[in-house]
Every structure is written in C-alpha cells, then in structure tokens.
Chains A and B, each alone.
Chain A
Amino acid sequence: MTAPRTFKYVGTRPIRHDGVDKVTGRASYGADPSWPGMLHGFVLRSPHAHARIVSIDTKAAEAMPGVHAVITGRDLPETTAQIALGEAAIDLRDIGDNALARTKVLYDGHAVAAVAATTIDIARQAAAAIAVVYDVLEPVTNIDRAIAADAPILHPALRTKGAPSAADDATNVASRLELKRGDVDAGFAEADVVVEREFRTPMVHQGYIEPHACIARCGEDGRAIVWCTTQGPFVVRDACAAIVGLDPANVKVVPSEIGGGFGGKIVVYLEPLALALARKAQRPVKIVMGRDDVFRATGPTSGSKVRVKLGAKRDGTIVAASASLWYEAGAYPGSPVGAGAMCMLAAYKVPNFLIEAYDVVVNKPKVAAYRAPGSPIAAFAMESVVDEIARELKIDPIELRLANANAEGDRAPYGPKYGPIGLQQILDAARGHPHWRAPLGPNQGRGFAVGFWFNAGMNSSATITLNGDGSAAIVTGNPDIGGTRAAQALMAAEELGIPVERVRSNVGDTDGSGYTDVTGGSRVCYATGMAVIRAAEDAREQLRARAATIWNVSKDDVGWEDGRAIPPAGTEKAAPMTVAELAAKMTQTGGPIVGRASLYAPMAGPAFGAHICDLEVDPETGRSRIVRYTAFQDVGKAVHPGYVEGQMQGGVAQGIGWALNEEYIYSPDGVMENAGFLDYRMPVASDLPMIETVIVEVANPLHPYGVRGVGEVPIVPPLAAVANAMRDATGIRFTALPLSPPRVLEAIEAAAAVPVEA
C-alpha cells in the first residue's frame, strides 16, 4: 500500500477567481448584457391550472407599434428527440411543450405566447392584447386526487411504465418502480418493534437568487448565439436547437455567471422563446423572469406522500422495511421518486425490504432537479421512523444507526456493493463531538439524521494552456457555482508545481470548450477535476519532452519533481528547470504547450452526511428557531476546504427552510398563492446560527486525490434532523412539512403538550 499523498496546494483556501467581481457587482449575470438593436421579450402565461387552448389571436398584439414578433406554440416544431439532460435522457417534446404550450395548459403560469418589442412596457401591453380562449378543466393539485379513480387526466396517452399489470387505462401515474430484497413478511414477523407512519411534504423551490434570464440573436444565415444563466451550456445548445428547429452546429451558448441553480437551471425555459423571437424579428431579444414567474413556471421539487414501515429487534437490529413513495412530477412525467426509493435505505443493512415508487403528474409546474433530487423527501420519512424506533427501544439514535450502518462490501439497496464509504466514520465523528452531549435549554430539543447521495460522474473536458511566463490558463465548460474555478486551479497547480495564484481558471462557451456535461450532480470537482488533473499531466509530459530537447537526452530519462524537470544523472552543466524556465523556451522547443483531457467518469463516489440539530420552540406561538447545528460529511478529499464547508452550510440552510417554512400554497382552483419571497419564506442569514461543519475524508478510489461529490448530500438530512429535534422538544411526531408556527402551535394545543425541559 502506498503512503497517502501529501499535497502542497490541494487542501489550502485561496480566494475564488470570481469572488472580487461578485462582491463588487462587476460580475456579469444572465440579465446584465445589452446588445445593439436589442428587443425586450415578455411571456404571456396561463391563469388556469388546467385548460384546453381553444384559440389564440395575436393580431392585435402584432399590430401594436414597437412590436417586432409574437410567437405561440405553433411557431415551434414538434420534436420527439431526446437529449441527455443532467444524468437522464429527457423527452424534448415535453420540454418544448413546457416552454410554450401547444394544445393544453397544465399549470398556473404555463407559457402560451411570447412577444418581442422595443421596450418591456410595449411587450407587456402587447401580451395583454393577445386573446386566448380557454376551455377550463378541473385541476389536479395533489397526489390523492391524481390517483383517484375519477381523477381528471392530464395526458390522455399516458400509461404507467413498470405497472405490475398490463392495464391500458389512461392514468396520472407515469411510472412505478420497485426495489426488493429478501422476504418482507418474514422479516416483520421477526421484529420486536414495528413503526409505521405516513409523511407528506409540499412542493418547494430551489430559490436561487438570480432569476432565469437570457439574450439571444439569430441571423438570417441561421447562426445563433444565446447568452444565459445556466448550469449546462451544452444542454441549452442541444435543447434549443431541437425545440426551435436549428442545426446545433449553428448555435453557440455562452454561459453567464450564475446566481445559484441547485438543479433548477438545467432545463430551458426562456432560451428557446428568445431564440424563436429573435429569429422572427431578426433582432436580439432579451427575456428576464420576475420572481413570480420563477415560482409559478420553473421547476421546483416534488410534493410527496411517503408511507414507511420499519421493523427492528429488541437489540436495535433492523430486520424489515416497506415503503411506498408517491412524488409529484408536476405537469409532465419525471419526478425524482426513483432516486428517492434508491436512497431511502442506503445507510442501512436491511435484509428484507420492498420499496415501491410512483411518479405522478399533477397540474403544477414540471419539477426540476433540486440538490440530491428525491433523497431529502425519502430521508425525512425514513429517518423520522428510525428516530421513533430508537425512542421505542431506548437506544441512542447514533448507536442504533451504527449498529445497522452499511460499510465497504455491503450491498446498496439498489444492488451493487459499496466501495469504500464513510458512513461509520461520520457516525463515529458525530458520537464523539461535544455537540452530541451538550446540555439543552428550556423548550429545546435535539434531532439526528443521516443522508445519502450517489454523486454523479459523466462527461468532462479540460484544456490547460501554458503561458510564456510559466503561468497557466484552464478552460472547462462548467459554469462555476460552488467555487469550482478555485478547485480546478488548485488541482492544476498541484500537478504542474506552479503557485495556485498563477493559474487562471475560465468557463468556456460551447465553441470554446470541449463537451462537458452540466454543473450538477455534485460532479464538477470529481469528474471535471479529474479532467483538469489529466490535462495538467499532459502538459507536464510535454514539458518533460521540452526539457529533453534542451538537454539533448531521451525524454524517458527526464525526471519530474516539485514542479521542475530533473536532468538525468551524469548530465554535465544541466540544472533542474522550472515550469517558467521551460515555458520561456517554448517557441525554441516546438511551440505552444496545451494540455488537454476528456473523459467519462462513472458515478462512483457515493457519500453520506450526518447532522445534529438543536431547535427551540416557543410554546405560545409555535415559532421555532435553530439554536445549534453541526453537519458531518465524508467528502473523500476536500480540495478547497472553505468551499466544501460552504457547500455543507448552504445545503443545511436550504434543508432547514424546507423543514420549517417553505411550501407552495395553492388555491382550490390550482393557482399559486405565494409566488414571491415575502410569502414564500426562505431562511436568511439572520434566521440561522453559524452552521458548524466537520469534514471527514474517506478517499474515493476512482479519483486521483480521493475526491467525492459534496454539494448535494448536505440537503438530505436536515428535514428529518429538524423534525426529530421538534419531536424531542415537543413530544409530538410531525409527519407533514413545513413545521411552520401555525402547524406547530395547532399540534401543541391539540396535544396539550408541555415542551420537554432539559
């Protein structure tokens, strides 16, 4: 076994490349540019949650002075193409129909037409002049209604994929998936304690600060440019080309800086509309969403109903589990329920289980990925029930989890055996942390929960160009959300042996960078990072060859140590040469040096987090506040520990918002009633204590440094950690989120419960 590698730059905390521009307001986001001749676009949206479009009359709008183009669904070709979107192939017909409805509107806010005009006011007025006749239908706004026998049907052609029987009835259940092991009935028969509960969570939004925005132009030659805020410029290129009917070779997408995405900026919404308007008007068109449209018409994550039954022996050994998960997909199939089912028991050795997962369409916006899609909902249910088992058996919650924790060589519930994983290590770290034993104050409770995410791999490319002064420039195709420029610079500096400050890290456009999948799935530091390391190795090999040329020896005889080429023993007058010294002679030794690498990385760095949450409840108002929170996570190797901690803290903050306050609220006719940050309550800095973080490093053998994905895991445990803390504080097991003051107060009053005092 080789000794662990010691690093010079990896593990340090340089300031991110985009930091100063972002804090000084210089960074250029989706809505910032203005192009010569630019028009302003506005999208007309459905006021109904479910309706047939009878007719759309755009004549009055088109006749208004200043209006240059009006489009409806008829302006976009129907496509049946599929593209890789994130980590799954997605039907572009649905994405196109979601961007601009053709025959039916399927949620409040569904786009039905778009206008481009010389000013935004004219565009708004023209949109108001478009006459849309709707045949309003009964909306389906929750799972119970959607799966009822007499439910209105959203998509008449929809049939349940994976249905056990070959029923050919129209349905709102798009798919069924099951995971099974052992004999569930026999397992429950063995159990000394069985807990069964049903949980509900509402639809919630990622809540990125920057709304969707783009600017597009399309010339008479069919060549087009789109500037937009996105997690995946290549996805935007391919999706727009298919939806609008352009050759992808003619579409260039330039990603702006991005003000948060969390999975919600992988799908296209405005971009195809701006392109279609620009093509029709032959002028650039900019469209910027307001916050209300972001809530009403872009992808939140699923609302859910989850039923869990768990059985354990008196010593705490879990012997059986069954679960049914129903996730809202929104208007088109494709909720993350499958991932929820796969994650639900990822932490535990359970010999007998049956998990069923149902993807259900409802008249709400089509869900998009949101940070570990599907896993937080499943963990809320499972970790709440595990907490109940620990209480019934009077076993410490961490000890109970340690007794059942999966380790290397154990089989994941979805089949394969785990490689090295850090679950037991994070549980040990939590058990030994002072937080776990710290005294609680009056009306306070403590909760514990774990969470899992797979972490993606996928396609990545990187180039590293050496400059004559020995500095280097990296280009990849991943928009930098979580500090990936800094992480990539650290990795290149490590391999080349040059100071990290001398490495400039850049985000390329779709013509200027090799194909790269989205910034998502917690994959960039792992997969694109690996491409950067290999590109740096490629550059280093070229530097060794240049040194060989200079010393007139074979390249095989040139060594490399600490950023310097080392001449072979016995070479007279030759001294080691630094990267800067070699780069200065590039022209004389063969020309520029560009290291490059492209790769497909498998999904193979699964990771766990464990969270301790202390919460205090005001029994008179039901208001709660988080008083202390500590997150433990196996990150494989923290390339930039500061940004790893930032990811952990950000995930916790979003998870706490999901647990305590956030929810889509709908009227009975399916209209969203809280489409703004005043009524949709996300936590702000003053709501939360400093989130403490504990980094645990169990190396991922597939990455040269051991890196695992980091960004998604930390949103998985908080829902249950908060609910378990609420149970501890109030004695009440809440099975529906959010734990907002009215709900908590009502339950406290109903139970006449006196909060437990420490």
Chain B
Amino acid sequence: MIAVARVHLPSGLTRHTGGVDTVDVAATRVLDVLAALRDRFPQIADRLEEMAVAIDGEIYADPGYQPLRADSEVHLVPRIAGG
C-alpha cells in the first residue's frame, strides 16, 4: 500500500494554488511529493526548489529521496541559515 502524505503549503504559496493549503499525495519519498506538487501547481515550481521540507517535524534542507512513513505530515518551510 502506498503511503499517503498530507502536505501543508505555506501561506505565501497558497495565493498561487487557488487557496489550497493542504494536499494529500500518495508517495513514498519526498521527491515524489515535490514532483506531484509541480505537476498540480506549475506556477510554484520555482519556489519549491527553495524550500526545506519538514517530515513529521524533522526538517531536511535538501530532502530528495528521504522516505515518508504512512500518514507522514509534510510541511514546506523556508530554508534557514545558522551561525
């Protein structure tokens, strides 16, 4: 069974998604989630490249093939620089 991730989009992107702020995506890896978002909302494709991804609270700056658990909660968050 393919896991379904609930993806939360930041408010800065929702004006480009017709107000949609939550999307359920059947995917087992983060890059599949991002590909699905690019397909559905091509107008935010550039912005997706600049976002970090939080998977169940763990933030990955460059998540790529990071696996998703069943019912993972995914948030797109701005990347952060530390000192």
Contacts and interface: CB of A to CB of B under 8 A. Distances in A.
Interface of A: 84-89, 161-162, 164, 176-180, 206, 261-264, 266, 334, 336, 338-339, 342, 369-373, 414-419, 453-458, 520-523, 600, 602-604, 702, 712
A88 B75 contact: no
Interface in B23-67: 47, 52, 54-62
- The secondary-structure label for the interface of chain A is loop
B51 to A, nearest CB: 11
B12 A521 contact: no
A206 B83 CA distance: 10
B80 interface: yes
Nearest to B14: A180
Contacts of A336: 80-81
Interface residues of B, number: 26
B75 A342 contact: no
Contacts of B62: 84
Contacts of B8: 415
Listed from nearest, the 7 A-B pairs whose CB atoms lie closest are A263-B83, A521-B82, A415-B75, A180-B11, A602-B58, A369-B83, A603-B59
B73 A417 contact: yes
27 contacts: A86-B83, A87-B82, A88-B79, A89-B79, A161-B47, A177-B12, A178-B10, A178-B11, A262-B83, A266-B83, A336-B80, A339-B78, A372-B83, A415-B54, A415-B77, A416-B57, A417-B56, A417-B57, A453-B82, A454-B59, A454-B80, A456-B80, A456-B82, A602-B55, A603-B52, A604-B57, A712-B82
Among A86, A338, A415, the most chain B Cβ lie within 10 Å of the Cβ of A415
Interface in B3-17: 8, 10-12, 15
B82 A602 contact: no
B80 A604 contact: no
B80 A415 contact: no
Given A179-B10, A179-B11, A418-B57, A603 B80 contact: yes
Contact of B60 (A89, A164, A602): A602
A176 B13 CA distance: 11
A520 B61 contact: no
A338 B78 contact: yes
B80 A338 contact: yes
B47 A520 contact: no
B70 to A, nearest CB: 17
A261 B55 CA distance: 31
A263 B80 CA distance: 13
A415 B80 CA distance: 14
Contacts of B73: 416-417
Contacts of B61: 84, 87-88, 458, 603
B76 to A, nearest CB: 8
Contacts of B82: 86-87, 263, 369, 372-373, 453-456, 520-523, 712
A418 to B, nearest CB: 7
B83 A371 contact: yes
Contact of B77 (A176, A266, A371, A414): A414
A88 B77 CA distance: 12
A603 B53 CA distance: 10
Candidate in A161, A179, A416 with the most chain B CB atoms within 10 angstroms: A416
Given A162-B12, A604-B57, A416 B81 contact: no
A334 B78 CA distance: 12
Contact of B81 (A88, A206, A602, A604): A88
Contacts of B79: 87-89, 338
Given A336-B81, A415-B75, 17 more contacts: A85-B81, A87-B81, A176-B12, A177-B78, A264-B83, A338-B78, A342-B80, A369-B82, A414-B75, A415-B10, A415-B77, A417-B73, A453-B82, A454-B59, A600-B60, A603-B60, A712-B82
A454 B62 CA distance: 16
Contacts of B55: 602
A70 B4 CA distance: 60
Given A162-B12, A416-B73, A416-B75, A370 B83 contact: yes
A322 to B, nearest CB: 13
A417 B78 CA distance: 16
Contacts of A419: 57
A25 to B, nearest CB: 27
